[in-house]
Amino acid sequence: MCSVTGVLIIKPENYEKIEKKFIQILKRAEDRGRDSFGVIVIEKDGSIKKVKALGRPSTQEEKLYGILDENSKVIIANNRAEPTTEYVRQKTEEDIQPFEGERYILTHNGIIANDLELEKKYNVVRRTKIDSAVIPPILDKYWDGEIEKLRKILNDIKGSFAFIIGDKKKPDRIYIAQNFKPVYMMYDRELGAIFFTSLDDYFDASPFDSVTKLDPYSIVEVNDKMEVKKVQLLDSKIKKVLVIASGGLDSTVAATYLLRQGYEITLLHFNYHHKAEEREREAVKKISEYLQVPLIEINTDLFKIIGHTTLLKGGGEIVKERFGEEGAEFAHEWVPARNLIFYSVALALAEAYGYDAIASGINLEEAGAYPDNEMEFVRLFAKLSPYATGPNKKVEVMMPVGNLVKHEIVKLGVEIGAPLHLTWSCYEGGQKHCGKCGPCYMRKMAFRINGLKDPVEYES
């Protein structure tokens, strides 16, 4: 395991300041690698300068100063934590990253599990047993520098990787390729340099610095004209979606919308001993039959163990002050980590059974009271997804009604023919909607705003 670092120099006249910043990044990156470090600099004419040593850069800092000059264009560097499977007792310079080919310089974070197979398939010879060393000769032999053509080679790799690649023939650019291993980018306008490394903490960036996390499963090319090209390693076509469905308005409209858009959907429902469990279960079954889509049910005692919520049976009274407005404005019935747990289970099922995405009825209205209904919750979970699923099994996270409030959801539901008459919104589990809890209040108002008659009955 390693930290990978790269720099594309836009303003070579600032090389001394760029060098100082780079060295600080490399020292912080010891967090991910202390066994050895290496730096290769590509000059304007394609020639190189390099420093490689065992141990930490912080104890040998003097070796790094003076490595840049006014002709330096690209820096490729590595801090290595030697994995058990790659241990070399008597190391030479050939065993220390970055690895150098005839044309390409490469630093790698991750493990290539099929390095021997790649060596045979591409008929190349490496200079060390280290797995990463097989890649530069493959690139030298089969890659012309176009990122679209790099995708095929990378898709042959079994394992994990974040590569930062320099090209001696094109020292005006740098390449970053990754599956689930992270790489961050920072542009320092004052210095005129673009920095790359494995964790954003290593930049020691100020709030005004431009820091970007590069997308997992992507290849990025950046040149000194500040032009960026990107291709995805995985096909992003979404066909099958697993929809977390409570049987309420929001998830029913979300599911119907996706169905009308041509997706193959399956509903996922949780029975977790909540007050409206029987009514919601009855509703979601009818909705599944109406939409003619499969339904998966999960029965769980987890929330009985967690407790501390009035939404569960025996958990206390539902707030009904001000005809339900009080319950609509504050998360009185908060269930600890419920949506995070639901999303995590949905993600696991999606990965295991080949769904391309998961979705739910999370919406803008309830985001006002519930943190896990905020659009940001979904966005952050989507960013987490590539690191919570297996290699090459990226699952997208969708929010079909995430930017809508309740009356907009009702309006959309009517327009697309969602079975709103079958839905159950009430926190209680009576024969009719109570009409006084937060969800009942929002539902009644949403239909009223649209000038529509609510198809369900209320006790009051």
Instruction: Report, as residue numbers or ranges, the catalytic residues.
Output: 2
In this structure, what token pair is assigned to residue 259? 């169905």
9: β partners:
193
Tokens describing residue 414: 């009517």
The DSSP code sequence of 232-280 is: ESS-----EEEEE--SSHHHHHHHHHHHHTT-EEEEEEEE-SBTTHHHH
Helix, strand and coil content of the chain, in percent to the nearest 5, comes to 35, 25, 40
Separation between Cα atoms, residue 187 and residue 27, nearest integer Å:
19
Q: How far apart are CA 282 and CA 275, in angstroms?
A: 13
CA angle 91, 174, 202 (to 5 degrees): 65
Task: Check: CB of residue 23 under 8 Å from CB of residue 80.
Answer: no
The alpha carbon dihedral of 389, 292, 245, 295 has a sign of negative
459 Rama class: left (phi>0) / alpha (psi -120 to 50) / beta: alpha
8-state DSSP, 289: H
Distance between CA atoms of 15 and 71, rounded to whole angstroms?
A: 9
Could you give the CA distance from residue 93 to residue 53 in angstroms, rounded to a whole number? 8
Element (H, E) at 441: helix 438-449
Side chain identity at residue 119, one-letter code: E
Count H helices and E strands in the chain, helices first: 12, 18
**Radius of gyration in angstroms for the set of CA atoms belonging to the chain, rounded to a whole number:** 27
What's the rounded Cα separation, in Å, for the pair 147 and 162? 15
Determine the Cα angle at 444 with ends 438 and 447, to 5°.
140
